[in-house]
Structure 1
Amino acid sequence: MRRVHYGYWLALAITVVMAAVMLWWGREPICKCGYVKLWHGAVVSSENSQHITDWYTPSHIIHGLLFYGLLWLVAWKLPLGWRFAIATAIEAGWELLENTDRVIEHYRAVTISLDYYGDSVLNSVCDVAAMWLGFALARKLPVWASVVLALGFEAFTTWMIRDGLALNVLMLLWPLEAVKDWQGAL
């Protein structure tokens, strides 16, 4: 029987610590609505980023595709398990950062996310799991397929909800009123 690399256990521990920190900060374990849905599709809603999956799940899969590729380039000598743990640490760090009061208020001020009050702990853990899926897909797929998948997810979410990973990062770092207006016209 093959032993599981320590990096995978470390990734799991990082995720548990992330969830514990979010609970300690007072983040909701699940949606305040009192139930858990597999999919929540209303972007402009207080339930967005509260359930298992939503329109932002593809961006977390893209994170996994990107992290696998970047870590393959810069840390190719490290065992896969350690690269997986590093990717998980980056994703968990992002989840913690985006759920700070300062970033939540920034999102609410510069985007159409007026009803956004942060992710539930369940949603953040599932976002990390979505990154794991992207990481695993990137490991198995040819590079061209990973690129097509990432671009496809970005194009689809941009078309469906006028948002995606690129627009999310843009509006976080360099908010543009024209983009906010375009997103709000949905």
Structure 2
Amino acid sequence: MPNVTNNLLPHRRALIATVVVLLVVLAILLAMGRPPICTCGTVKLWHGVVQSAENSQHVTDWYSPSHFIHGLLFYFFAWLLWVRWKVLGGRPVRHALPIAVAFESFWEILENTPFIINRYREATVSWGYVGDSIVNSMSDIGWMIVGFLFASRMPIWVSVVLAIALEMLTLILIRDNLTLNVLMLLWPLDSIREWQALA
């Protein structure tokens, strides 16, 4: 996707819109009663034990790469819509980042509803999942933003190679990744869950 970053990178108003979206999602998560930090009382930069009460409670974990990949994908879809397919006449759409942040924020809110929390517990290997802390949710959105901006600066093949590498890395190390996460939420397979439980 060379020479198109000027069309999709945010200008000042789009950056302000991004901050507003972040503040709104923060307020919603607080209103939902999500814990600001891990109920263990500490904030870690990294927590690497997937099957633990502290998973999805700290700044980064094994699912942070999935959110980075979200950013790569959101940038790709923005490029398809507004540059490749000339939606809206191919005019520069510099609100692509806040739109991506809004989509990611919607997922973070949905992910912390009782329906999705119970779905994770019933259908995936995350039997003890209790939802994310607010620190973790905001960090997940941050990783998506990093992925979006990374994709805006790199040739498409670099983003593709990195996404595949991150998927393979987490598949090997924790037997889970973005692909399996989506599959197990939508169409859970006992064989995959049993295989993941061996990790």
Same fold (TM over 0.5): yes
Larger radius of gyration: 2
Q: Percent identity?
A: 49
Contact 2:38-2:57 within 8 A present in 1 as well: yes
How many residue pairs align between the two structures? 184
| 1:1-150 map, 5 Å | 4-76=11-83, 77=90, 79=92, 81-150=94-163
- Which ranges of structure 2 fall in alignment gaps of 5 or more residues? 1-9, 84-89
- Indicate the larger mover: 51-60 or 75-84: 75-84
Work out the CA distance in 1 between the residues paired with 2:82 and 2:94: 12
Letter in 1 for 2:177: G
Contact 1:8-1:81 within 8 A present in 2 as well: no
Let me know the Cα RMSD of the aligned residues. Answer: 1.3
Contact 1:5-1:81 within 8 A present in 2 as well: no
Deviation track 1:102-129 (CA, whole Å, cap 9, x = no partner) reads 0000100011212210000110000000
Work out the CA distance in 1 between the residues paired with 2:41 and 2:181: 28
Work out the CA distance in 2 between the residues paired with 1:66 and 1:183: 25
Shift of residue 67 of structure 1?
A: 0.3
Work out the CA distance in 1 between the residues paired with 2:93 and 2:65: 23
TM-score, length of structure 2 as denominator length: 0.89
Deviation track 1:95-151 (CA, whole Å, cap 9, x = no partner) reads 111111100001000112122100001100000000000001101111100000000
Please point out which of 131, 141, 152 is paired with 2:165. Answer: 152
| 1:155-170 map, 5 Å | 155-170=168-183
Query: CA, structure 1 residues 140+178, in 2 after alignment: closer, same or farther (shift >3 Å)?
Result: same
Divergent runs of 4+, >2 A: 75-81
- Which ranges of structure 1 fall in alignment gaps of 5 or more residues? none
